[in-house]
Amino acid sequence: VGAIVNDAMVPLNTQLHTGDVVQIKTMKGTGPSEDWLKFVKTNQARNKIRNYLMKKEAEAHETRVSEGEKILAEEMRKRGFDPKDYMDKKKIENILKDFRVSNYTDLMYGIAVKSISPMSVTSHLTNQKSRMSEDEALGHLLNREVQKRTSKSGLVIPGIESMKMSLSHCCMPVYGDPIKGYITKGAGVKVHRADCVNISRVKSRLIDVQWDDGDPDRLYDSDLIVMAHDRSFLLTDIVTVVSQCRVTMESVSASVNHDTLTSTIKLTVRVHDVNHLQNVLANIRKIESVFTAERASH
């Protein structure tokens, strides 16, 4: 760790002269460092230092790989998986490209040095049997054979037995609306009204979807916006009319523009289908001082 020349502590790269008395101070567990290559004079010494450093680096890498394996196994156990079922090198080879590494040891090393998330690796390994690439999913949907099946979501995709589907919040389609499915990245198929502006520029990702006739009692949320000239009991009248239409009201809020004396009422209602919804809107429009009542877009 240091050198003493003629009773004085000096750096290890100090040049010696004839007659110098030299003492080398050592410490257990230490060894040559890469800096030594800058001042050693003989090729033999340089080669020995290089060999030592390469050996230590290989040992450190092996230690890191082992640490990564332990971290990944622990993460799997936390999430209820048996590492023996998933930490097979052949299975892991299938996900290497997802983490931009070329081999098993690089993946484990990355986990150990925290450049790769063990949670993400666990998710990829435990889901890899059911995972389908985005392009494969798109091709499968666009080249399906036509057949119809029921769905818990109230929606069906011709030719697809099981696919995650949900109604879009931007246009909030209800049963009977013309609809289209949009293939998302990682969230299944989002179903929009066919005239929704948010899907007008992504036609390559659109597929045909249908309403499922299997549950006539299903209800659908719809946001409405009512504009009216402000007056007393306006909100009461609107709530009364909506209730008379046999509609469940989820929420209602109102605001007033005092400069123009107009009220904006926002409602969320639950209806059976588009005809039910149109009946609600038609009756709201008949209320005194109301001048517009429309479905909201987000």
Query: For 136-171, what is each residue's pLDDT tens digit?
Result: 545 555 554 333 444 556 777 765 656 678 899 999
Q: Are the beta carbons of 71 and 118 closer than 8 angstroms?
A: yes
**Which residues have CB under 8 Å from 103's CB, separation 6+?**
96
Both tokens of residue 130?
């059911």
Both tokens of residue 261?
């004396």
Res. 49: pLDDT tops 80: no
**Angle at the Cα of 227 from the Cα atoms of 224 and 231, rounded to 5 degrees:** 125
Residue 279: pLDDT band by 50, 70, 90 thresholds?
A: very high
Q: Are the beta carbons of 228 and 289 closer than 8 angstroms?
A: yes
Write down the pLDDT at residue 164: 78
* Nearest in space to 6 (alpha carbons), one of 28, 23, 30: 23
Res. 277: pLDDT tops 70: yes
* Nearest in space to 213 (alpha carbons), one of 175, 162, 245: 175
Query: How far apart, in whole angstroms, are the C-alpha atoms of residue 127 and residue 122?
Result: 8
Answering whether pTM is above 0.75, one says no
Q: Are the beta carbons of 206 and 225 closer than 8 angstroms?
A: no
CB atoms within 10 A of CB 149: 13
Instruction: Tell me what the mean pLDDT of segment 223-237 comes to.
Output: 92
Query: For 83-108, what is each residue's pLDDT tens digit?
Result: 888 888 888 888 888 888 888 888 88
Please tell me the least confidently modeled range out of 63-72, 195-204, 271-280, 285-294: 195-204
Residue ranges covered by each domain of the chain: 1-28, 54-127, 134-211, 220-295
Instruction: Tell me what the mean pLDDT of segment 12-27 comes to.
Output: 81
Tell the CATH superfamily of the 220-295 domain: ACT domain (3.30.70.260)
Residues of the chain with pLDDT > 70, as a percent, come to: 87
* Nearest in space to 189 (alpha carbons), one of 145, 134, 143, 147: 134
